[in-house]
Amino acid sequence: MRAARANWRRARRRRDKLPFLRLLCGGFASAGLFAALYLGGANRLTVCLLLLGAVSIWCMKADNALLRLWRLFALAYFCVLPAGQLIARDEIYLTLLPEQNPATIAWFMLNIVGIWAMNFTLIAMRSRRAASAAMPDMRRAVTVSRWVYAFALLALAALAFIYVKLGGYGQIAQLYANRLETSVTQNDPLEGLGVVQALANTAPLWVFACVMLRPWRSRLMRIAAFAQLIVLGWLSSGVFGNRQGIVFVVLFACLIYHAFVARISRRAAKIVGICVAVGGLAMLPLKFGIDYSEIGNLSKNFADKRMLQLSMGPLSFFLFRDLSRFDVQVQAIDSVSKPGYTLAMGRSFVGAVAAVVPKAVWKDKPQTFAREKTDIVRETETNQSAETTLLFGMPGEFLVNFGVFGYLLSFVVAAWLMAWIDQMALGSNWRWVPVKVVSYPLPFLFFLFDSNVLAYYGVRWIVLFALPMAHLLRRKRTGPRFFHRHAGVRIENSPRS
C-alpha cells in the first residue's frame, strides 16, 4: 500500500512539472524567434512558419516514450536548427538559399502539412489498433542458448580478419588519416569488406549477451561486460572514424540490460545519456582529423583542414550538418521544382537494396541515391567532389523520387514506422525485444539518413544481431508459477496464494 501511494505521489509530481516545462520551453523558443525577427535575423513570414511548425509538432499526442522523444527531436530538426542556420548564415559545403527564396518557404510549408499528415496517420492507426497485452516483465527470467558463444566468436573472428588484412591497429589508423587527407568517397580501406565489417561491429553486443544473459552475472563480470562495449566498439568502429558504432552499441546494450537483466532507473539513464553525448562530442576532433594535442586551437585547425569559416566552428558543423538536413532539402526542392526535372521514380531505393549485396554476387549493381543528389548539388557544392557525401534524409530522397507528393508521403511512412515499433514485442511476442531495441533509433535516423545508409543499418543491427538474438532467447525453467504469473493467473497451490 505504501509503495502504491508513493508511486501515485511521484506520478502526480511528474504531471505537475509537465505544464511548467512545456510553458518554459515554449517561452524560450518564442522569445528567441521574436528576438531574431526584431533584430533583423529573420523575416516575418519565416518566423510565422517556424511558430506554426512548432505548434503543429506540439499538438501531436505523445502517448508513449518514443513519440515524446521524437517530438523533441522534431522541434530541433524542423524549427530550431533551420532558424539557427538562417540567422548564422553558415554555409557548409553548400550554398544556403535565402529565406525569401520560394524553395525555402515551400520547405517550411511542406513540413507543416507533413507533420499534420503524420499526426492524422498516428490517430488513425491508434483508433484501429486492437488493445494489446502489455509486454511481460522478463527481467532475470530469460537466458540465451549456448549458440550465442558461436555468434560471438564469429563476430570476433570478423574483427580479427579485418585487422590482419589491413596490417594491424597502427596501419588502420594511418589509412583513416590518409582517407581524410585525400578523398572520403574514393579512398575506402574497407572496400569489399562491408558484410565483414558489419559483422565485426556487432561483436561488442554478442560478447555482452554472452556475459549478461548466460550464468556469469557476478559484479566483476558485469563491469567487464560494459567496459568491453567501449573497447571493442572503438576497435570495430571508432578507429575508422565511425562514432555511431560506439553510441549505438552502448544504447542497445543498456536497453537489453533494462529488458532482461535489471531495471535501469531514470536517473541512471540520464547519466548514461549525458556520458554518451559528451563522449560523442569528444570524438569530434577524430572525425575532422585533428589531433587532441591541438585541442586548444580546435576551431582554427578545423577551419584550415575543412576550409570552412563557421560561426561556431566545429559545433556549427555538428548542429547544421550532422543533425540537420535543412540546406540540402531546400536545394532539392529548388531543383525538383524546375521545369523539365526528371524524377527518379524509386530508382534510388533499388540501388539501396543492391548496395548491401556483395559485389561477388551482384557485379553490375545499380547506383545508390548518390547519383541523383550529386546532380542536384553539383553547381552549388563548394568542394566540387566527384560524388557528394551530403545526406538528404529520407524525406529528401522521397522528394527526388516522387516529387512533392513523395515528400509528404515520407511523413506517413515515418508514422507507420513509429506505430510498428510501438506494437512490437507485446504480449506473447516478447522474443522480438532485441528487434524492437535496435529499431528505436529508426524514426530519428529516417530523417537524417539516405536509403542506402539505412539499408546498411538494417543489415548490421537487425539481420546480423537482433534477428539471431531473438531466436536464441529462452525462458528460464523456473516452474509453472512463472508462466501463470505473467499470464495474469495465480496458482492456488503456490505459497503466496
The 10s digit of each residue's pLDDT in 252-290 is 999 999 888 888 888 888 888 888 778 777 777 767 666
Q: Copy the grid coordinates of residue 112.
A: 507543416
- Identity of the residue numbered 368: T
Domain presence at residue 128: no
Q: What are 413-417's contacts with CB under 8 Å, separation 24+?
A: 413/446, 414/118, 414/443, 414/446, 414/447, 415/117, 415/118, 415/119, 415/121, 415/122, 415/125, 416/121, 416/125, 417/442, 417/443, 417/446
| pLDDT recorded at residue 446 | 96
Q: What letter represents residue 130's amino acid?
A: A
> Does the residue 347 lie in any domain?
no
Report the pLDDT value the prediction gives residue 30, as an integer from 0 to 100. 53
| pLDDT of res. 481 | 46
What residue type is 347 in one-letter code?
Answer: R
Residue 263 lies in a domain: yes
The segments of the chain whose pLDDT lies below 50 read: 15-18, 20, 35-40, 479-497
- Count structural domains, the chain: 1
Contacts of 9 (CB under 8 A, 6+ apart): none
Q: DSSP 3-state assignment of 335?
A: helix
Whether 161 is in a domain gets the answer: yes
Per DSSP, the residues of 182-251 read: S-TTT--TTTT-HHHHHHHHTHHHHHHHHHHTTT---HHHHHHHHHHHHHHHHHHTGGGT-SHHHHHHHH
Which element (helix H / strand E) includes 179? helix 169-181
pLDDT of residue 9: 53
Give me the DSSP letters along 26-62: HHHHHHHHHHHHHTTSS-HHHHHHHHHHHHHHHTS--
Is 6 contained in some domain? no
pLDDT of residue 486: 45
- 196 lies in some domain: yes
pTM for the structure as a whole: 0.85
Query: Would you state the pLDDT for residue 10?
Result: 55
- In 3-state terms, what secondary structure has residue 87? helix
d(CA 437, CA 446): 16
Q: Check residue 402 and give its pLDDT.
A: 95
Whole-angstrom distance, CA of residue 335 vs CA of residue 341: 7
Inside any domain, residue 167: yes
DSSP 175: H
Domain that holds residue 167: 142-282+424-483
Rounded Cα distance between 229 and 36, Å, is 43
Q: Does any domain span residue 232? A: yes
* 144, β-bridge pairs: 473
Burial environment of residue 175 by CB neighbours within 10 A (0 to 12, 13 to 18, 19 or more): middle
Q: CB within 8 A of 94, min separation 6: which ones?
A: 327, 328, 331, 377, 380, 381, 382, 390
Quick: pLDDT tens for 184-234.
Answer: 556 667 777 778 889 999 999 999 999 988 877 678 888 888 999 999 998
For 475, what's the count of Cα atoms within 13 Å in the CB-facing half-sphere?
A: 15
